Amino acid sequence: MKKRNPKLAALLSIVPGIGQFYNKRPIKGAIFLIFFISFISVFYQFFNIGFWGLFTLGTIPKLDDSRVLLAQGIISMMLIAFALLLYVVNIVDAYKNAERYNRNEEIEDPRARRIATWDKTFPYLLISPGTFLLVFVVVFPLIFMGFVAFTNYNLYNSPPRHTLEWVGLDNFKTLFTIGIWRKTFFSVITWTIVWTLVATTLQIALGLFLAIIVNHPMVKFKKLIRTVLILPWAVPAFVTILIFAAIFNDEFGAINNDILQPLFGIAPAWLSDPFWTKIALIAIQVWLGFPFVFALFTGVLQSISPDWYEAADMDGASSWQKFKNITFPHVIFATAPLLIMQYAGNFNNFNLIYLFNKGGPPVSGQNAGSTDILISWVYNLTFEFNNFNMGAVVSLIIGFIVAIVAFLQFRRTSTFKDEGGI
């Protein structure tokens, strides 16, 4: 049997499909070759305009829309990346087919070969629609936002009336060096971190406390109590937030008029004083967030073997020691990834901040409200002030913060260090 040269097959595949013809795979070779020719002929003009627009962002105002040119350039990059991936697959396929032929591993029967090929490619066919949607619904907007952060796209320089320009790192320098931007950014990010840590930790602590209490053997009517405690989770969050906004209203809210004023003679300015607004937001988030944590911990607590607690009782362990050495480690081990997601979710909890008081009350000398977090500030920059470039810059910072913190925390959890039991 004459051997095939894998390196020659790979070299011939520089022109897609030729290596497959060399390996006596005419159908596969024809597919690669036709795709290659069709790709160039169909997208050549698109790529020409796309990459020109990506580098220049247009040259004639009112005629060249920089947003369209930028989008077309990004799509061109994505299509080129996809084509390069298939190009590499074409070369690797030719090389490996030649190697399999030399090892006598090739399937000779055409029908069996087609079945084997179908079995191998079927999973990729199933995930391809979802992958396509993911790329154009998630990846494309993220890349577009990333590019906008390096342009001068704002209210006073908006396409198509004006063409955009690349400004490099100027927007980042503005954020960290110009007075009002620097002051606002550090004020907002400080409150965002405090909000995330305090609100999330309190909702987790309350959920764990209630789960332990309800799970205690002496507590009766467990099903009824669990149902009642999960009810806040069943109500849509935006409805609850709007109700709380009315309850905490400074003028007619039930908190002041029916509880605090008659009983204690005080009436905090929940919507106009930054301190009390922050207290109210944290309290509302604890109310909204604890039911999920409670349900999560309840399921985990029921999986802990009673024998562990019996052994601890025989050793004379106190309730605190049993919690510290049995309950808490087991709960954290099983739920750490989901708890990290709770922190990440509250870091970007736009709904509560916006619906309760739209990030207010306002602060003098800043372009963000006193309770705005990064994501609500981005919303205001983008949709209220049309400051798209600075909104994109802050969005990039949010993405980096969440990604880095989540990655580090996931790696530190025992769930990922040990894939077995405790």
| CB contact burial 103-115 (16+ within 10 A = b; e otherwise) | eeebeeeeeeeee
Query: Which residue did the predictor score with more confidence, 124 or 352?
Result: 352
pLDDT in tens, 277-307: 999 999 999 999 999 999 999 988 888 888 8
pLDDT in tens, 149-204: 999 999 888 898 999 999 999 999 999 998 889 999 999 999 999 999 999 999 99
At CB < 8 A and 24+ separation, what contacts does 295-300 make? 295/226, 295/230, 295/233, 296/207, 296/335, 296/338, 297/207, 297/208, 297/211, 297/212, 297/331, 297/335, 298/211, 298/214, 298/215, 298/226, 300/330, 300/331, 300/334, 300/335
| 57, pLDDT greater than 70 | yes
Residue 112 CA to residue 67 CA, distance in Å, equals: 51
pLDDT in tens, 217-267: 888 888 899 889 988 888 888 899 999 999 999 888 999 999 898 888 888
pLDDT at 105: 74
Mean pLDDT for 42-67 is 91
C-alpha closest to that of 181 among 379, 396, 395, 366: 366
What separation in angstroms does the CA of 368 have from each of 139, 149, 371, 400? 28, 19, 8, 21
Burial of 143 (0-12, 13-18, 19+ CB in 10 A): middle
pLDDT at 420: 46
Residue 17 CA to residue 37 CA, distance in Å, equals: 11
Mean pLDDT for 205-223 is 89
pLDDT in tens, 299-352: 888 888 888 888 888 888 888 888 888 888 888 888 888 888 888 889 989 999
**pLDDT confidence bin for 422, thresholds 50/70/90:** very low
pLDDT at 275: 94
pLDDT at 1: 55
Angle at 26 between CA 22 and CA 30, to 5 degrees: 110
Mean pLDDT for 31-38 is 91
Mean pLDDT for 124-142 is 88
Q: Are 289 and 208 in contact (CB under 8 A)?
A: no
Looking at the whole model, is its pTM more than 0.85?
Answer: no
166 forms bridges with which residues in the sheet?
A: 151
